[in-house]
Amino acid sequence: MTDPDRLRNLLSRNEILVEVLERARELALPDWYLTAGCVVQTVWNVLTDREPAQGIEDYDLFYHDPADLSWEAEDRVIRRAAAAYGDLPAEVEVRNEARVHLWYEAKFGVPCPPFATVEAAIDAFPAVCSCVGVRLERDRTWHFHALHGCEDLFALVVRPNRVLAPRAVYERKAARWQREWPRLQVLPWS
């Protein structure tokens, strides 16, 4: 990944994000990352001189546990996390990415093969700039996953990632983001 120091410096300006990372480390979930909108939006907020946590609806905490794909097992983790994050002024959404293939087609209209890792799930996000995950290791070092690097993220470029999500999902997300951050350069699907 390119420029992890820059990414860490930008993300660390969002105190809520840092606290979510700290508490996630204590939850000790298997193969976990904080990812998606909270990462992207924090970076864009800082780069556009906004408050780092402004407009972030939720913080996506993904983990991968193929040992038990039942809703009940995932729900136990969700409830445990809800107790850990209950006092934060933000919603933390916890999801087992090993289960995505069980519900994805019903929600988005296209089948999803099972993800072998949480990194594979991150790599399938609809926009290249959002294919970034971060976690705080036991020794407090920041670990990043960014298959495509962070050039688009830092340059405020939204480029389609045609791996899984349908065009309509990308276009809805890109349009919402551009309304919030007008400086974004949104590239067309085709």
State the total domains in the chain: 1
pLDDT reading at 158 higher than 80: yes
pLDDT at 1 over 90: no
For residue 61, the enclosing domain spans: 4-186
Global pTM exceeds 0.85: yes
Q: At what angle do helices 15-27 and 37-47 cross, to 10 degrees?
A: 150
Confidence of residue 40 (pLDDT cuts 50, 70, 90): very high
Percentage of the chain beyond pLDDT 70 is 99
Q: pLDDT tens-digit profile of 51-84?
A: 999 999 899 999 999 999 999 999 999 999 999 9
Q: Each residue of 90-134: pLDDT tens digit?
A: 999 999 999 999 999 999 999 999 999 999 999 999 999 999 999
Average per-residue pLDDT in the chain? Answer: 95
Who's near 128: CB < 8 A, 6+ residues apart?
148, 152, 159, 160, 161
